[in-house]
Amino acid sequence: MLKISVPSSADFLAGGGEMGALMRGHDWSHTPLGRPANWPQSLRTAVRLVLNTNHPMFIWWGRHLVQFYNDAYRQTMGPERHPHALGQGGRECWAEIWDIIGPQIDQVMDGGGATWHENQLVPVTRHGRLEQVYWTYGFSPIDEDDGVGGVLVVCRDVTKDYLSSLALRDREAELARVQQVGRIGGLEVDLRTGFHNRRSPEYLLIHGLPADAARESHEDWVRRIHPEDREATENKFRDAIASQVRDYTAQYRIIRPVDGEMRWISVRATIERDDSGKAVRLIGAHSDVTEQVMAEQALRQSEERYRTLADQLAELNATLAQRVEEKTRERDRIWNVSQDLLLVADRNGIWKTINPAWTRTLGWSEAELLNRSSEWLEHPDDGGITQARVKKLGGSDAIAKFESRFRHKDGSYRWLSWTGVPDQDHIYAVARDVTAEKAAAERLKTTEEALQQSQKMEAVGQLTGGIAHDFNNLLTGIVGSLDLLQTRLNQGRSDNVGRYIDAAMTSANRAAALTHRLLAFARRQPLIPKGVDANQLVVSLEDLLRRTIGETIDLSIVASDDLWTTLCDPNQLESALLNLAINARDAMPDGGKLTISTANALIDGVTADAPALSPGEYICIAVADTGTGMSAEVAARAFDPFFTTKPIGQGTGLGLSMIYGFARQSNGHATIESRVGQGTSIKLYLPRHHSEIAVEHAIAARAAQHAATGETVLVVEDEPVVRGVILEMLGEQGYRTLEAADGPAGLRLLRGDARVDLLLTDVGLPGMNGRQLADQAREMRPGLKVLFITGYAESVAIADGFLQPGMEMITKPFDLGNLSRRVRAMVSG
C-alpha cells in the first residue's frame, strides 16, 4: 500500500498546472468528500503526489471512486470526459470499459494488493470515435484507517509501441516463414572475430547441424567443406574479404555432420565495411542447390545422349508417321461407323464437326447441320436446355449430362441423351438416341399404373364381398325384427316384443362395431387416450377371455413386474386383445395354449422387430398361440386391409388391420411372427406414459347416485331424429332441455339469460363445427362443461389437445343408458 507522510497544510493542492487550478476551483462541498481541508491525510498526500509529477497518474477514492488526475493524464482523455470527469464517480465515467477495469479495481479496494497490467487493450471513445488503446498500468492501494481508502493509478498509453512491436514480430515471423518456405538459411558473421554470431534454423537444417548448436568459428565452417572444394572455396572467401567488393557469391559442396551426406551449397552475401574499407560483418543467405546442380549435370549428360539418340529418333520418326497414319484411318473408321452421335462445337455452341450418325439418326445432311447452333432443332417444350448447357460448358462447368429432344427431318422428334466436356476453345459432345428406351419406360409406367388400378379394384372387390355381406345380414336382422315388432303392435299383441327389440339392438350394435373396425383400420377411430395399467387391464379380461376361447385352450397370463404405464384408449386396447384371442382360438381348433405377456421395451434405434418405431420407451403386450401358424407370404400381408384367408362372408379382412391402425394411431406399432405348424406371436408396442393412471371409479359412483334436479342441458344436433331421441331421454331423466339445430342458433341461446349446466353438441355441425361452438360458448360462459358427440373423427377431433379440461366425447352410435351415465357424471362432477 502507498504510505507517504507529508505535512497536512491546506496548500496540498498548490501547483499542478491546469488540473491543479481546476481542483482548487472545484466545489467539493457537494461531493461525498466535502471540503478539501477535511480530506483524509492519505488522500491529500496522494493528490499532492499526482499533481506534481509529469507522469500520467490517476486516483479513485472512496466507495464512490471519486476521480482525480493530473495534466499528463488529461491529455489522454479527450473532450468527451475532460474536464467534467474531475470529481465524477469512476463507474459512471468509465461505464464502457468497466467490465475490464472494474474487477481489477475491486481486487485492490477489497485488500487484494497492488496489480500490474502490461499491454492491456482498453477500447475508449475519444474525439468522437472508439479507439483501440493499449495501456500499461498499475493499481496501488492507498491506506486509510487500517483499510484501503482508494486506488492510485500509474499508467502509460503504449498503443504505438505495442503495435510497432507486433508489426516487428510479424515482419520477423514473415521473414522466418519466407526463409523456411524458400529453404534459405540466414547467416551473420563477425569478420573481426571470425565467429558466426547468428544462424537461422533453416541454415542449421541445410548444413546438418543440431538445432541447439552453439556459434561456430571460421575453422568449423571450413572443415564442413568437401575436401575437393575446400581450398578453392576458402581462397575465394579470403579474396573477397581482402578486396573492396560488397557482394560475395560462391557454390561448393559440404559434408553434413548429421548424416555424412554430400550437399551442394549456393551462397549470396553482402560484406559490410567500416569507414576505412575494412570488412567487419558478412550477412549471407545459404541455399541447398543439390537437386539443381544434379539436374544441370544430368542435363549435360542428356545433351550428350541426345546427340547419340538423334539419329535413332530420325529412324523412329518414319516408323511413327506410318503408325499415326494407320491410327488416323482407324479413327476415321470409328468416327464413320459409330452409332453414337459425335459432335465438336466452339464455345458459342456453333457446330464445327459431326459424324455420319447424325444424318442416319435425324435425316439432316452434314451441310444442313454445320456452322449453326442447335436452337432450330430443339423441341419448343424443352426450354432451350441444350443451348443453356452449352453456355455452362463454355463457362465453368467441367461436364454436362442431360436429355433433350431434337427434330427429325420428317418432323418427328428423337430423344437424345447427352454427355459434353469443354477442352480449350472447343466443346466435345456425345449423344445417344434413347427414343426407344423412353417409349419402353413409358409403356412400363402405363403397365404399372394399370397394375395399381387392378390392385385397387381387387381391394374394393374384397371390401364389397365382405362388408356388403355383413351389412346386409345385419340390416336384415334389424329390418326383420322391426317389421315383426310393427306387425305385433298393429295386431295389439305384445308377446315376443322384447325378443324382437333385443334382436334389432344386437344387429345394430354389431353394425356399429363393424363401423368402428373400418374407422380403426383407416386410423379415423376417435380415441380417448388415458393412462393405462396394461397388467391390470389384461388381468381384468381373464374371465371374458376364458369364456371366449373355450375349455380346450389353456390361457396363461405372464405379467411383468414394474410394468410402465402407457397412454392409449383402454376400450380399444380391450377390443384389440379380444380380437387377437378370437384369432388364436380359430387357429387352434383342436386346442392348444394361448399366452398373453407384458414387458417393458427400450427402443434405441431401428430394429428388425419394430422398424417403424421412433427411439424411446414402450410397453410390449405379446399374444402368442400354438396354432396352425401362417406362411411367410400370408404373414407379410396379415395387416393389409381386406386381406383374409377366410371364405367370403366369414371375414372382412379388417380384424388385424384394425389392431394395426389402433397401435399406429396410439403412436405405437404392431408386429407379427409366425411359422406354419408352430403358432403365431403378435406384439403390440405402446408408448410409455409418465402421468398417473386415470381414476374414474369415484366419479362413476357419484354419478350413479346423482339424480337430476332440474339441471339444464343445451343439445345442439343438426339431425332431427337424433336430436329428438336425446331430448326425450334427457326429459325422462328429469333434466330441463334447450335445443338448437346448428352452432349459430346454439350461440343465440347461450347469449341469453337461461341457465345452462352442460353443452351437448355434435362435432360435425354444418358451418360452425362443434369445437368452434364450444370455444365461443366458453368465452361467454367460462368453465361451461361440454360433451361432444361424433360419428366420424375428423382431423380436428383427433388432434392433440382437442379435449380440454371439462370436455368429454362419446361416439355414435351409443345406447341411451351410456349417454345418460355420461351426462350424469358431468353435471354432478
Q: What is the CATH number of the domain that holds 249?
A: 3.30.450.20
780, three cell numbers: 361467454
- Three-state DSSP at 818 gives helix
| Together in a domain, 371 and 414 | yes
Lookup result for grid cell 351426462: 823
Tens of pLDDT, residues 272-290: 898 888 888 888 888 888 8
Task: State residue 684's pLDDT score.
Answer: 93
Other CB atoms within 10 A of residue 726 CB: 23
Of 234-248, 314-328, 489-503, 733-747, the least confident: 314-328
Other CB atoms within 10 A of residue 799 CB: 11
Strand order in the sheet with 553-558: 553-558, 592-603, 616-625, 679-687, 669-675
Give 172's pLDDT tier (boundaries 50, 70, 90): low
| Together in a domain, 212 and 107 | no
| Together in a domain, 543 and 681 | yes
| Together in a domain, 144 and 21 | yes
Give 1's pLDDT tier (boundaries 50, 70, 90): very low
Task: State residue 720's pLDDT score.
Answer: 84
| Together in a domain, 657 and 771 | no
Q: What DSSP character marks residue 431?
A: E
| Together in a domain, 159 and 188 | no
User: What rounded mean pLDDT belongs to the chain?
Assistant: 80
Beta-ladder partners of 126: 129
Lookup result for grid cell 503408325: 323
List Cβ neighbours of 510 (8 Å cut-off, separation of 6 or more).
474
- pLDDT mean over 641-656: 56
CA pair distance 235, 229, nearest whole angstrom: 10
3-state per-residue secondary structure call for 379-390: CHHHCCHHHHHH
- For residue 723, is it within any domain? yes
- For residue 392, is it within any domain? yes
Please name which of 558, 557, 566 lies closest in space to residue 601, comparing C-alpha atoms: 566
CATH number reported for the structural domain that contains residue 622 in this entry: 3.30.565.10
- Three-state DSSP at 413 gives strand
What distances in angstroms separate CA 323 from CA 311, 327, 332, one per listed residue? 19, 6, 14
CA pair distance 808, 829, nearest whole angstrom: 12
Print the domain residue range for 61: 10-163
Tens of pLDDT, residues 199-249: 788 888 888 888 777 678 888 888 899 999 999 999 998 888 888 888 899
What distances in angstroms separate CA 276 from CA 248, 272, 279, one per listed residue? 19, 11, 9
CB–CB of 515/575 below 8 Å? no
- For residue 414, is it within any domain? yes
| Together in a domain, 186 and 147 | no
- Three-state DSSP at 460 gives helix
Task: State residue 175's pLDDT score.
Answer: 56
Kindly give the pairing relationship between strand 553-558 and strand 592-603. parallel
CA pair distance 669, 664, nearest whole angstrom: 5
- What is the length of the chain? 829
- For residue 654, is it within any domain? yes
- For residue 468, is it within any domain? no
Report phi then psi at 119, rounded to 5: 50, 45
Q: How far is CA 729 from the centre of its chain?
A: 57
Tens of pLDDT, residues 43-91: 888 888 888 888 898 999 988 899 999 988 887 787 888 888 898 888 8
Residue type, 710: G
CA pair distance 469, 651, nearest whole angstrom: 10
